[in-house]
């Protein structure tokens, strides 16, 4: 069964609004989670590493003030897309490691109108 | 920075034909992982290869890790319609051993015609 959940699975919002996406590890603790973005028919691009109890580490080119990450507990990381624009429309996927395996969440499809 | 190249980008096969996707890294990898993403779905871990020259099989899927640990391949024998999806290879970012930060190849989109 699923070991990482994401909510919501799909969201449509207006330009300028903020959207929060939750990533939860189910039945295990994840001190580190990862946030990826995937555009249609393209690969996954790592956006940031979410660290429980400390600041997230962002990849080069990812605006930390636009993509706010909060890892407040050992089972929950949130990604907030602030002041969303149409170009932020994408598939956002989180992942967490359990043992030696990386488990991906089901993804959140964001559409910004 | 590290680059992971994957070819082909697309592959269309008739059901029953074989399929192979190739992955090349610009740096030596401590391990390489393969994922499958069904249309509309999320990546699902298939396997991890660690040793130089390693070959692993999962039913009709055969995974190889090159001797130099810079390239890998996934071969599917006698494809079925259930094999449809995008196959990604991924290596630890920066050449580390971390299972977390991954650099993904571009993926190969496989379609299987019945």
Say whether pLDDT at B95 is over 80.
Answer: no
Say whether pLDDT at B58 is over 80.
Answer: yes
d(CA A80, CA A60): 18
Q: Which chain B residue has its CA at the smallest distance from A109's CA? A: B40
d(CA A15, CA A6): 22
CB contact A9 to B (< 8 Å): no
d(CA A90, CA A11): 10
pLDDT in tens, B60-78: 999 999 999 999 999 999 9
Contact A41 B105 (CB under 8 A): no
Q: Work out the pLDDT band at B96, boundaries 50, 70, 90.
A: low
Min Cα–Cα distance to chain A from B99, Å: 7
| Of the candidate ranges B84-88, B95-99, B102-106, the one whose mean pLDDT is the lowest | B95-99
- The minimal CB distance from B106 to the residues A34, A43, A107 is found for A43
Mean pLDDT over B87-106 rounds to 79
Query: Which of A1, A9, A44 should we substitute to test contact with B (largest number of B Cβ atoms within 10 Å)?
Result: A44
Q: Work out the pLDDT band at B23, boundaries 50, 70, 90.
A: very high
Say whether pLDDT at A22 is over 60.
Answer: yes
d(CA A83, CA A86): 10
pLDDT > 70: what percent of chain A? 98
Contact A101 B43 (CB under 8 A): no
Mean pLDDT over B39-50 rounds to 91
What spatial distance separates the first Cα and last Cα of chain A, rounded to whole Å? 34
Contact A46, A38 (CB under 8 A): no
Say whether pLDDT at A67 is over 90.
Answer: yes
CB contact A65 to B (< 8 Å): no
- The minimal CB distance from A46 to the residues B99, B101, B107 is found for B101
Residue A99: its pLDDT value, please?
77
pLDDT > 70: what percent of chain B? 94
């Amino acid at each position: 069964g699923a070991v990482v959940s994401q909510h919501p699975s799909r969201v449509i919002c207006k330009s300028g609004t903020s959207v929060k996406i939750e990533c939860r590890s189910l039945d295990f603790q994840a001190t580190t989670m990862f946030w990826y973005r995937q555009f249609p028919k393209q690969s996954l691009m790592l956006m940031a590493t979410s660290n429980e109890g400390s600041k997230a580490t962002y990849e080069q080119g990812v605006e930390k003030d636009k993509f706010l990450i909060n890892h407040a507990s050992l089972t929950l990381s949130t990604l907030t897309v602030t002041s969303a624009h149409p170009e932020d429309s994408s598939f956002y996927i989180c992942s967490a490691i359990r043992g030696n395996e990386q488990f991906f969440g089901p993804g959140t499809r964001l559409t910004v109108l | 920075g590290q680059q992971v190249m994957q070819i082909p980008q697309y592959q269309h096969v008739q059901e029953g034909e074989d399929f192979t996707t190739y992955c090349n890294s610009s740096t030596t990898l401590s391990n390489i992982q393969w994922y499958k993403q069904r249309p509309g779905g999320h990546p699902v871990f298939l396997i991890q290869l660690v040793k130089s020259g390693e070959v692993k099989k999962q039913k009709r899927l055969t995974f190889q890790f090159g001797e130099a640990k810079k390239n890998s391949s996934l071969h599917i024998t006698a494809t079925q319609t259930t094999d449809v999806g995008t196959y990604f290879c991924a290596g630890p970012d920066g050449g580390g051993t971390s299972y977390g930060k991954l650099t993904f190849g571009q993926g190969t989109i496989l379609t299987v015609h019945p």
